[in-house]
Chain A
């Protein structure tokens, strides 16, 4: 596990549970470096002051808040540390709520997820809190300051630990009022509704994250690895006009003929003599409503066979 990125304590009432935070997710996107095209050296981004017309170091910068056009107030690290927030070193639980939001509640828009790890001194209380939340189906709504920013967060049990998810503040969530949405529910035919429900039902299942992967990243990595190994990379075909239906029908004919031959060979090998029905291809031949046995032997066989058998699923 990587280094913890935050240390503090879960606090509610008089309870304090020292914990560490670890990022629960990481980006697997493929990133590129910018190179100078002529020499292929990696370029550098310098911090440049236009007033002094010189390159400066990061250490020579301070934080400024633009309160008016080109007017800044400097905010120092001391200013940030002196912010009177109870949540500076704590995950301050404000309320326990159902872990799954009710339909009437607005959705919880997640920013970032963190795993919690209890400090040795807080393991028992940590397990107790986790167990109670799990048994009751509850999550905690809390506040926490991470990287100088106070965040709204939810805390809920996940396996043997707790998952902290920072949430967007309500005023950060854009309204849907600007979207062009239908005001009235369109009238659906019962068959359309039934079809939609059938489609949803057919695709309903458990969410298994392992079934999903980033196909674009995999394809891009294949291109990169091919270039590293000096192989040609195969560009996708620009035009895929597709084959003809007649080719498919021909393939079908050939495949049936091959399967038929294979089956007959198997029958001969098994020394089982079964009369064959004449094969009738109605699609390209004149009407032949019912297949008729080709000779007397087949006629006997056809009569001996049941005319129709019930096939059930």
Chain B
């Protein structure tokens, strides 16, 4: 199988670590056909390295979240190529299928019985938002829109692991919809932007759905959001 870049997915160098792109803080939702808008998923931001049927995480977290999420080993079966690096967010969903910071915290705190049996700790989920490596080649120079499209072909959807759902141009509409669902931030990726480490500039924004009326003390969730977790 050849990927978007025409490379053999099972050959070439292997990335060891990805230096992440850091989104620019936006001020308010906006409409722009050059951007893909989607939820800013309130979870643990992680790069998932799939190679030879094995999964390795590089997470923006102080501790390795891998032991708390044994389900993630199943990602290897869903990725249709031998080697890939996905940019993802690890979530824990509550009974209403909404991301729960409290359940995520409890998962990380070890409220986990093992053997796939959750102990009132919700259901783990993985949302993939970008494809950075395919086989032995980096896709970083490819436009985000192409990477995202390739991601949809590489990752087989499952009930707990999906490519993100994005909407082109409709930032304000998406923000309203996300507000109804209890989200607080919108992610806006410029479709023609390559991936690069460090500050994203106008390639990627994290936009608050509403300006907070007054400054409130940071909750765990707020801290996680600020850290991009």
CB distance from B56 to the nearest CB of A (A): 17
**In the assembled complex, A258 has its CB within 8 A of some CB on chain B:** yes
Q: Interface-forming stretch among B23-31, B46-54, B73-81? A: B23-31
- The residues in B between 150 and 201 inclusive whose CB is less than 8 angstroms from any CB of A are 150-153, 157, 159-170, 172-174, 176-178, 180-181, 188, 190-192
| Total interface residues in chain B, CB < 8 Å | 77
**In the assembled complex, B92 has its CB within 8 A of some CB on chain A:** yes
Which chain B residue shows the least CB distance to A205?
A: B217
Contact across chains for B176 and A252 when beta carbons are under 8 A apart = no
Question: 1/0 per residue B190-229: CB within 8 Å of A?
Answer: 1110000000001001010000000001100011001100
Partner of A287, one of B146, B176, B181, B190: B146
CB distance from B92 to the nearest CB of A (A): 7
Question: 1/0 per residue B87-125: CB within 8 Å of A?
Answer: 000011111111110010000000000000010111111
Contact across chains for A205 and B177 when beta carbons are under 8 A apart = no
Question: 1/0 per residue A268-312: CB within 8 Å of B?
Answer: 000000000101111111111111000000000010010111111
Known contacts A240-B120, A243-B98, A311-B30; decide if A277 and B170 are in contact (CB<8 Å).
Answer: yes
Which chain A residue shows the least CB distance to B39?
A: A252
| Total interface residues in chain A, CB < 8 Å | 57
Alpha-carbon gap, A302 to B32, bound state (A): 10
CB distance from B86 to the nearest CB of A (A): 13
Alpha-carbon gap, A239 to B118, bound state (A): 8
Partner of B152, one of A279, A282, A305: A282
Question: 1/0 per residue B16-58: CB within 8 Å of A?
Answer: 0000000011110010111010110000000000000000000
Alpha-carbon gap, A282 to B147, bound state (A): 10
Alpha-carbon gap, A262 to B179, bound state (A): 14
**In the assembled complex, A47 has its CB within 8 A of some CB on chain B:** no
Residues of A within 8 A of B152 (CB): 282-286
Contact across chains for A260 and B146 when beta carbons are under 8 A apart = no
Question: 1/0 per residue A244-275: CB within 8 Å of B?
Answer: 11111101110110111011000000000000
Partner of A290, one of B39, B192, B223: B192
Contact across chains for B168 and A243 when beta carbons are under 8 A apart = no
Partner of B223, one of A192, A202, A252: A202
CB distance from B205 to the nearest CB of A (A): 5
Alpha-carbon gap, A202 to B224, bound state (A): 9
Q: What are 20 inter-chain pairs, A to B, with CB distance below 8 A? A: A199-B223, A202-B223, A240-B103, A242-B93, A242-B97, A243-B97, A245-B93, A252-B165, A252-B181, A260-B173, A260-B177, A277-B169, A279-B167, A281-B168, A282-B168, A289-B191, A290-B34, A311-B202, A313-B24, A313-B25
